[in-house]
Amino acid sequence: MAITEAVENYLETILILSEKQPDVHAIDICSYLGYSRPTVSIILKKMKDEGLVTVDGDNHIRLTAEGKKVAERIYDRHKVITGFFEYLGVSRDTAAEDACKIEHDISDETFALLKEYYKKLSDPKK
């Protein structure tokens, strides 16, 4: 399975949830994303087969090293792009919504420069 935008969203969601609570279950992902249980179960099985997540006997979902790498990359993009848009004056909700659309498609080169520029803008010492 290729790492599609949908898979990136699931991995990012698992990362976000795991930072807020000790255990992540499929129902948590359903609630967060607003998807049905069958839909989430299908994608989780594929991600498990691809080595992006593990599911233990208590149905706790955890990111593997590879899954965490992808999730952290996307979440970093989300936070930086959202922050940059908010800095420009975009409302928080719109900034986050727009960041979700861009974070998957922006090139590594463009993102690196955007992140560097945003850091300079948001650091009052510079």
CA distances (Å), origin 93, targets 10, 71, 82: 20, 21, 9
| Cβ-contact 43, 6 below 8 angstroms | yes
Q: What's the rounded mean pLDDT across residues 82-91? A: 95
Looking at the structure of the chain, the number of domains it has is 2
Residue 117 has pLDDT above 80, yes or no: yes
pLDDT in tens, 4-49: 999 999 999 999 999 999 999 999 999 999 999 999 999 999 999 9
Q: Could you tell me the residue range of the domain that residue 59 belongs to? A: 5-63
85 and 36 housed in the same domain: no
Strand partners, 61: 55
Q: Contact, 26 vs 41, CB < 8 A?
A: yes
Q: Give the CATH number for residue 118.
A: 1.10.60.10
Among 25, 41, 63, the domain boundary falls at: 63
Question: Which domain-ending residue is among 29, 45, 63?
Answer: 63
Share of the chain above pLDDT 90, in %: 92
Which of 19, 45, 63 is the C-terminal boundary of a domain? 63
